[in-house]
Amino acid sequence: MLMKKFAKTDIKISQLGFGCWGIGKTMWIGADDAESKKTLHRAIEEGINFFDTALVYGNGHSETLVGEAEKESGKKLFIASKVPPKNMIWPAPDNAKLKETFPKNYIIKRTEQSLRNLNRDYIDLMQFHVWNDKWTHEDDWKEAVLKLKKDGKVKFWGISINDHQPENGIEAGKTGLIDSYQVIFNIFDQKPAEQLFPFCKKNNISIIIRVPFDEGALTGNIGPGTDFPMGDFRNNYFRGNRKTEVKLRVDNIWNDVKKETGSMSEAALRYIISFDAVTSVIPGMRKEKNLLANIASISKGPLSSELLKEMKTHKWNKNFYE
Ligand SMILES: NC(=O)c1ccc[n+]([C@@H]2O[C@H](COP(=O)([O-])OP(=O)(O)OC[C@H]3O[C@@H](n4cnc5c(N)ncnc54)[C@H](OP(=O)(O)O)[C@@H]3O)[C@@H](O)[C@H]2O)c1
C-alpha cells in the first residue's frame, strides 16, 4: 500500500482510505455488521490505516465499529471523523450563520461524543461536516479548534467541503488552522483540479477524495434496471431518468478506458490517484470483495497522460444531491 504524507507532518496515511458512511447503516441500507467488521479488519491487514467516519453515520454506529476494529487489531489507525452542523442542514446554505451551525461549545460537545463512540482519547483528524467560507473570520470555530488541540483531543482539523463547491473552503485554509480538505472529485466532477489542488500543493494541505464512484455510478453497475433497497438515499440520488443518463455516459467512458484498465471502478480510482495533490481516496466499501478489487486497482498506479487528457471530455456538471 502506497503511503502519503499527511499535510505538513511526517505522518503517513494510506493512499487508499476507507469510507465508512455505508457501514453506519443510515441512508445506505443493506450493510451487515459482521460483514462490515470483516471488511474493516481485512483493510487493516492489507495496510490501510486511514478511516473516514462521522458522528451522523448511524448516529455513532460507524464510529463504534471503526473504534472496535482498531482495538481488536492492536494497530494504531489514523481516524477521521466529522462534527455535524448544529442545524442539521447539508450542505451549508449560503446564508447560514456560524452561530446556528458550529457554535464553540457545540463543536466541543460533539467531539467528545465522537471520542466516546470511538473509545479513544483523541481523534487524529476532525472535520467540519459542512462549510461556508463566509465564517472564516469569525472566532467561535477557531476557539474550539485551538481548545480541542490544546487539550489533546483533536490532532488535526479539516473541512469536508460542500458538494460540488470545491473552492468554498480556500479562505479558511489561509488561516493556517486547516490541515486537510475532503472533497468530491471523480471523472464527472473534475473541478477541484482547477483551483483547490494548486492551492493545497502550495500550502501543504492534504486532499482526501470522497465519492470517487459518484455514489456507485462510476462502478459501471448502475443502469435503468438497477433497484436500491427501500429507504436507501440512492433512490433519490438516481431518480427519474438519471440511471439511464448515467449508463449512457459511463458506457462512453468505458469505450475510452477499456484499452488501459480492467474495469470501470479501476479506471475511476486510477483517474483520481493520477493527481499528485491527492493524499488519499476513500471509496465506501461494505464488502470485502470490493475492498480487494480497489486495493488491486490502486496498485496499478496512475493512468497514462494520453488517457488522462481524454478523460477531460467526460466532465459532467450536475448535482444529484439536490
Ligand atoms: N459530506 C461528506 O463529508 C461526505 C459525503 C459523502 C461521502 N463521504 C465519505 O466518502 C466516502 C465515499 O463516498 P460514498 O461511500 O458515498 O460513495 P462512493 O465511494 O462513490 O461509492 C460507494 C459505492 O461503491 C461501491 N463499491 C466500492 N468499491 C467497488 C468496486 N470495486 N466495485 C463495485 N462497487 C464498488 C460500494 O459498494 P459496497 O458498499 O456494497 O461495498 C458502494 O455502493 C463515504 O463512505 C464517506 O466516508 C463524505
Encode the chain (322 residues) as per-residue pLDDT tens digits. 999 999 999 999 999 999 999 999 999 999 999 999 999 999 999 999 999 999 999 999 999 999 999 999 999 999 999 999 999 999 999 999 999 999 999 999 999 999 999 999 999 999 999 999 999 999 999 999 999 999 999 999 999 999 999 999 999 999 999 999 999 999 999 999 999 999 999 999 999 999 999 999 999 999 999 999 999 999 999 999 999 999 999 999 999 999 999 999 999 999 999 999 999 999 999 999 999 999 999 999 999 999 999 999 999 999 999 9
Protein residue closest via CA to atom 4 of ligand 1 = 210
Distances (CA, A) of 68 to 38, 148, 181, 268, 285: 12, 23, 26, 30, 17
What is the residue extent of each domain of the chain? Answer: 3-314
Residue 91, preceding bond cis, omega within 30 degrees?
yes
The Cα 3–Cα 280 span in angstroms is: 9
Measured from the Cα of 21, ligand 1's closest atom is: 45
As to burial, measured by CB atoms within 10 angstroms (0-12 exposed, 13-18 middle, 19+ buried), residue 260 is middle
**What's the CATH number for 3-314?**
3.20.20.100
The Cα 71–Cα 296 span in angstroms is: 26
Cβ distance 111 to 154 under 8 Å?
yes
Kindly give the distance from the C-alpha atom of residue 26 to the centroid of ligand 1, in angstroms, as a whole number. 13
For a mutational test of ligand 1's pocket, the pick from 165, 261, 290, i.e. the residue with the most ligand atoms closer than 8 A to its C-beta, is 290
3-state secondary structure 43-88: HHHCCCCEEECCCCCCCCHHHHHHHHHHHHHCCCCEEEEEECCCCC
Strands 50-52 and 78-83: parallel
Cβ distance 160 to 182 under 8 Å?
yes
Kindly give the distance from the C-alpha atom of residue 143 to the centroid of ligand 1, in angstroms, as a whole number. 33
Kindly give the distance from the C-alpha atom of residue 249 to the centroid of ligand 1, in angstroms, as a whole number. 19
Q: CA triplet 162, 263, 184: central angle to 5 degrees?
A: 5
